[in-house]
Structure 1
């Protein structure tokens, strides 16, 4: 079986995000890559967060940075992919409960400004390009 990246439909940009955190006290970090349907990189960013976060918190911050970058680029149609199923489900459900609810709410407010958006889980082994 060949694993690999699959392009979105015409006019749609794919945002792949990931977060990294550790149990040893190191700072969390995030990465974002936005590609067109041919796989050309439109924008990318990575950054170290100012503190250590939970795995879920780090993934949510990666999504937030991804949609903010897409908004800054004035993209109107986006697909977001990440490997954190719980984050995907919470965003799809509009869940604003819990300690991270404010982040979900902010992301959903930003997503409402896009003409079209979709978020889905992508298993870790499919992150290769």
Structure 2
């Protein structure tokens, strides 16, 4: 079991978890918020784990999310759904100047381009674009997996969750050493 899961099951008691920290994450510009997202796939159980962490220009955590959904274990669609959930979280938090950052270049490219795609993947991308159209300013960018460790850790943990875990201005202690 992951440290986050153990922490939640033990009523919030801190449990250490070893993951190599990344020092290459960069803060967004002033007045912007950066939402890093990732997906983890459990093919055996047809589940997708989603991890999102939102931070401000000082690097302070605005919110974190772990969510698990039953979905065909398709990595491309899983990553698109994770980007959609990150966009939804930003909208729910009322953030209007956002940078989305993930390690799925196909999702980043699809959101950046104007082409319509009526596949399941394309419909998720369309939903992302629709939400982003309501933001004052936004961008989406690719980051290597090693710089997206927190979102990846949250996504892997989400596969063990039976319900969503959303923390505002907080994060599970199992990722503290990664910040």
Return the TM-score normalized by structure 1.
0.91
Query: Residue in 1 aligned with 2:82?
Result: 62
RMSD: 1.5
Query: Residue in 2 aligned with 1:114?
Result: 135
Match of 2:99 among 74, 79, 97: 79
Aligned pair 1:91/2:111, yes or no? Answer: yes
TM-aligned CA deviation for residue 26 of structure 1: 4.4
Please give the per-residue CA displacement for 1:55-98, whole angstroms capped at 9, x wherever unaligned. 11111111111111111111110000000001100110034313
Aligned pair 1:33/2:53, yes or no? Answer: yes
| SS class of match (2:34) | strand
| Structure (1 or 2) with the greater helix fraction | 2
Instruction: Check the 8 A contact 1:84/1:121 in 2, yes or no.
Output: yes
5+ long unaligned stretches in structure 1: none
Q: In terms of Rg, which structure is larger? A: 2
| SS class of match (1:91) | helix
TM-aligned CA deviation for residue 25 of structure 1: 3.8
TM-aligned CA deviation for residue 126 of structure 1: 1.2
Paired residues, number: 128
Match of 2:70 among 47, 50, 59: 50
| SS class of match (1:11) | coil
* In 1, Cα distance between equivalents of 2:31 and 2:60: 13
* In 1, Cα distance between equivalents of 2:108 and 2:48: 20
Return the TM-score normalized by structure 2.
0.67
Instruction: Check the 8 A contact 1:32/1:66 in 2, yes or no.
Output: yes
Higher RCO (CA 8 Å, separation ≥ 6 residues): 2
CA gap 1:100/1:60 in 2 versus in 1, 3 angstroms: same
